A and B are shown apart, each in its own frame.
Chain A
Amino acid sequence: MATSGWFLTLTLALVSVLPLCVAFSAESPTDRRILVLVDDLSIRSSHSIFFDSLKSRGFDLDFKLADDKRLALQRYGKYLYDGLILFSPSIKSFGGSLNTAAVLDFVDSGHDLILSADETASDLIRDIAIECGIDFDEDQSSVVIDHISYAVSEKEGDHTLIASDDFIRSDVILGEKKIEAPVLFRGIGHSLNAANSLVLKVLSASPSAYSANPNSELSSPPSLTGTAISLVSVVQARNNARIVISGSLDLFSNRYEKSGNEQFVTELSKWVFHERGHLKAVNVKHNKAGEKAEPAMYRINDDLEYSVEIYEWSGTSWKPYVADDVQVQFYMMSPYVLRTLSHDQKGRYSTSFKVPDVYGVFQFKVEYQKLGYTSLSLSKQIPVRPYKHNEYERFIKAAYPYYGASFSMHHLSVPQIAGQSSIYLLSSDRTNFLWNFDFEKQISEL
């Protein structure tokens, strides 16, 4: 009886805690529930290394055929998933309520996406990529060919399985450990939309690569050549939603042993599902130098201290974020003060500065945008007042001559007035008005 009571409590506790810990949240920003859409369920086995690595890191994968009639990303206005993996390059149209707009809405509401195309990529997949700032080669039959850096195999192939090690130099996107072996890639190339500043090339082709149909003669110069071809690209949207777009589905498969693929896709998936590079800023504090409490207002020329704590999500816990390039602005229409914050290695960033000699409504602003990291945008409003009338410095030594001069002018005019008046008025033969001034007479005359 007692045991069953315990069991019930435990189950209730688990049930009540479970929805909190499995979903993406501000406190635990890693995605947990992921929908994987596939053309063919055999991808589960052919790409098992990639999926197993996700599962072992605690992700809850939900495999569905892309044309499943009951597909839905949200129910009753709430998203059922935190991330979406589209491993269905040839799908013409999704089943259920899913379409391009639904996928883009999913991303617009801050969720993450891995999209993988290959030479069979449908217009639907291409459209989603275009919306993300990525243009796959328009020629449907072309693939990336490289006659110099290709994977050597027993039979002389058409050099469409290319090897590339031209990675983006970013520890946050690809992990601190260097990817030793080149990545093997068989698929289509894409170019980045120049108007989109959020999209980044993560893996680009070698200078000798080009995008063409391997089975036909090259009649005209290929439209995409060299390092302009991106093989894998990422996007971090302004709402910190992350997207990975690859021109090859095989990139994620188990097929290429002895290549950098496994490490590459694992590290990339850590980034895209917010296991790395997700920052949070807490405990924004400011105070007058030497004081503890946060004032409601500063005075011009006050000395102040500002501090903020920044942590990076490591997938399981918040670790102090260490960087030397976090800056704070003291901002009113434009930054009056711009300071680089110094840190104590434990995530606390601080600086001190003097309030400028300008009063008005200022803001403390931290606008931190670093490649691969989620952007931080903090602002805290604070008014700055001028000196009160009794706060000005009085009796300044350097001003004594001026005081003397104006007092001498003022006080000299008194004896001067007295002297002049006596000289004028006493010596004057007219009315001696100073000595015999008759108010009553004057008033009655008026």
Chain B
Amino acid sequence: MVKSSGSDDARALIRSLRVAYSATPTTLKIIDLYVCFAVLTALIQAVYMGMVGSFPFNSFLSGELSCIGTAVLAVCLRIQVNKENKEFKDLPLERAFADFVLCNLVLHLVIMNFLG
């Protein structure tokens, strides 16, 4: 009884999430896709490192941090450009985007140097 109602609840939850997400603007969905890709790449690298060992550890770290860093920056961008988010309603779109670009440049400058 409890179990079936639980799975029903879950199904209902997912459905409502999907409905709510379909209302998300396309631009935000693109960012979400980008974040998913970055996280997935990070996971693949972690699995690969588990298989071949940690030998070029600096390379592993830079590959991993490159993905995680990019994902974090993209999430930050998404928070700032989301129209629903009232906290950043005074922040111009250009400013948020310029932050994202600049941080990405700095991150990848470091990554390139650490990659070995």
B-binding residues in A (CB < 8 A):
392-394, 396, 398-399, 401-406, 408-410, 412-413, 416-417, 419-421, 423-425, 427-428, 430-431, 433
B93 with A428: CB separation less than 8 A: yes
For the complex with contacts A406-B108, A409-B41, A427-B27, 11 further pairs of A-B residues with Cβ separation under 8 Å are A396-B55, A396-B56, A396-B59, A401-B48, A402-B63, A405-B45, A409-B66, A409-B69, A410-B111, A413-B70, A425-B94
Judged by a CB distance under 8 angstroms, whether B88 is at the interface is no
> How far, in angstroms, from A408 to B42 measured CA to CA in the complex?
11
Binds A, one of B7-15, B16-24, B29-37: B29-37
Closest Cβ of chain A: how far from B32's Cβ, in Å? Answer: 12
Please state if B70 and A420 are interface contacts (CB–CB under 8 Å). no
The binding surface of chain A is classed by DSSP as: helix
> For A410, what are the chain B residues with a Cβ–Cβ distance below 8 Å?
66, 104, 108, 111-112
In the complex, what distance in Å separates the CA atom of A406 from the CA atom of B74?
15
Q: Across chains A and B, which 4 residue pairs bring their CB atoms closest together, nearest first?
A: A402-B63, A399-B59, A406-B66, A399-B56
Chain B residues lying within 8 Å of A428, measured Cβ to Cβ, are 93
- A residues within 8 A CB of B30? 416, 419-420, 423
* Complex alpha-carbon distance, A244 and B106, angstroms: 78
B116 partner, pick from A392, A404, A408, A425, beta carbons under 8 A: A392
A398 neighbours in B (Cβ, 8 Å): 52-53, 55-56
CB nearest neighbor in A for B111 = A406
Q: Is the CB of A403 within 8 A of B59?
A: yes
Whether the Cβ atoms of B97 and A420 lie closer than 8 Å is: yes
Cross-chain contact A430 with B108 (CB below 8 angstroms): no
Residue B6 at the A interface, CB < 8 A?
no
CB distance from B23 to the nearest CB of A (A): 17
Complex: A406 Cα to B81 Cα, angstroms: 25
Give 11 A-B contacts (CB < 8 Å), ordered by A residue: A402-B60, A404-B63, A405-B41, A405-B42, A405-B64, A409-B38, A409-B67, A412-B37, A423-B26, A423-B30, A425-B94
Q: Does B66 lie within 8 Å of A405, measured CB to CB?
A: yes
User: Across the interface, which residues of B come within 8 angstroms of A403, CB to CB?
Assistant: 59, 63, 115
Partner of B62, one of A402, A420, A430: A402
Min Cβ gap A321→B in Å is: 45
Contact among B56, B67, B92, B115 for A430, CB-based, below 8 A: B92
- Report how far A419 CA is from B31 CA in the complex, Å: 11
Q: Does B76 contact A (CB under 8 A)?
A: no
CA distance A77 to B20 in the complex (A): 104
**Nearest CB on A from B63, distance (A):** 3
| Interface residue? B91 (CB, 8 A) | no
Q: How far apart are A391's CB and chain B's nearest CB, in angstroms?
A: 12
CA distance A419 to B55 in the complex (A): 37
| Nearest-CB residue, chain A, relative to B109 | A410
Expressed in whole angstroms, the Cα–Cα distance for A441 and B87 within the complex equals 29
- Complex CA gap A419/B66 in Å reads 20
Which residues of A sit under 8 angstroms from B112, Cβ to Cβ?
406, 410
Q: Which residues of A contact B31 (CB under 8 A)?
A: 420
Among candidates B27, B34, B60, B94, residue contacting A423 with C-beta atoms closer than 8 Å? B27
B115: A residues at CB distance < 8 A: 402-403, 406
B63 near A401 with CB under 8 A, answer yes
Residue of A nearest to B69 (CB): A409
Chain A residues with Cβ below 8 Å from B55 are 396, 398-399
Contact A413 B104 (CB under 8 A): yes
With beta carbons under 8 angstroms apart, the residue of A402, A408, A419 that contacts B59 is: A402
Question: Considering the chains assembled together, what is the distance between the CA atoms of A430 and B89 in angstroms?
Answer: 14
Known A398-B55, A402-B115, A433-B94: A424·B27 in contact at CB below 8 Å: yes
Is there an interface contact between B93 and A430, defined as CB atoms closer than 8 Å? yes
CB-CB under 8 A from A431, the residues of chain B are: 94
Alpha-carbon distance between A104 and B99 when the two chains are bound, in angstroms: 83
Residue of B nearest to A433 (CB): B94
Cα A423 to Cα B33 with chains together (Å): 15
Among A392, A409, A412, the most chain B Cβ lie within 10 Å of the Cβ of A409
Q: Chain A residues near B41 (CB, 8 Å)?
A: 405, 408-409
B81, A424: Cβ atoms under 8 Å?
A: yes
Report the separation of the CA atoms of residues A406 and B108 in the bound assembly, to the nearest whole angstrom.
8
Task: Check A409 against B70 for contact (C-beta < 8 Å).
Answer: yes
Residues of the A chain whose Cβ atoms lie less than 8 Å from the Cβ of B60: 399, 402
Q: How far is the CB of A405 from chain B (nearest CB, A)?
A: 4
Contact indicator B70/A396 (Cβ below 8 Å): no
Please name all residues of chain A whose beta carbon is closer than 8 Å to the beta carbon of B111 when the two chains form the complex. Answer: 406, 409-410
A381 to B61 Cα, complex, angstroms:
37
- Which one of A404, A405, A424 contacts B97 once the chains associate, using CB atoms below 8 Å? A424
User: Chain A contacts of B44 at CB under 8 A?
Assistant: 401, 405
